[in-house]
Amino acid sequence: MAEKTTYDSNNIFAKILRGEIPSHSVYEDDAVVAFMDVMPQGPGHTLVVPKAPSRNLLDADPGTFGPLFAVVQKVAVAVKKAFGADGVTILQFNEPASGQTVYHLHVHVIPRFEGIPLKPHSGQMEKPEVLAENAGKIRTALAN
Ligand code: 5GP
């Protein structure tokens, strides 16, 4: 049977964008939001999400990418500073075969430290208080 490849407006990030479920937000503008990943692959793992609906990069309007990646860069610089990271990994998955699990376009921004591997993708839930504290650090770095 053919895989479903249309946008489902009940995906979890669409619900976060509509304010129907909470998130630890770090950034919002007219086109893009950023919030903490609840199952971080490392401290400070942030998701950057365009407001425009698309499943992933494959069906997105190309006009989405400029504003989206401008925020990816801002957040990458901020998380590097906020966590004293040595580098930043940017990840983006398209369809199940690639590892995508939430079907609204998003970009992962993950601070990296020399010699420390990433934790598994969609692994363990982080404590809300840790996510709140990390979001605060990123908001502070974005403001400075
Ligand atoms: P994907 O596999 O689609 O690229 O990544 C989806 C990401 O969303 C995963 O890293 C997962 O930990 C995260 N995630 C799943 N459910 C939620 C949620 O309810 N809230 C937040 N903030 N992140 C989520």
pLDDT digits (tens, 9 = 90+) for 22-40: 999 999 999 999 999 999 9
Quick: pLDDT tens for 123-144.
899 999 999 999 999 999 999 8
Residue 21 CA to residue 10 CA, distance in Å, equals 11
- 38 in contact with ligand 1, CB cutoff 6 A: yes
Q: What is the pLDDT of residue 123?
A: 87
Catalytic pick from 24, 45, 104, 106? Answer: 106
Would the CB of 56 count as within 6 Å of ligand 1?
A: no
Verify whether ligand 1 is closer than 6 Å to residue 13 (CB atom): no
**Structure-derived torsion over alpha carbons of residues 58, 95, 41, 107, reported in degrees to the nearest 10:** 10
- CATH fourth-level superfamily of 12-143: HIT-like (3.30.428.10)
Beta strands in 22-144 (DSSP E): 25-28, 32-36, 46-50, 87-91, 107-112
Predicted local distance difference test score (pLDDT) of residue 1 = 42
Pure H helices in 18-89: 65-83
Q: Measured between alpha carbons, how far is 13 from 2 in angstroms, rounded to an integer?
A: 24
Question: For the chain, what are the domain ranges?
Answer: 12-143
Q: Is 106 a catalytic residue?
A: yes
Q: pLDDT, tens digit, for every residue of 83-125?
A: 999 999 999 999 999 999 999 999 999 999 999 999 998 889 9
**Closest ligand 1 atom, residue 99 Cα:** 2
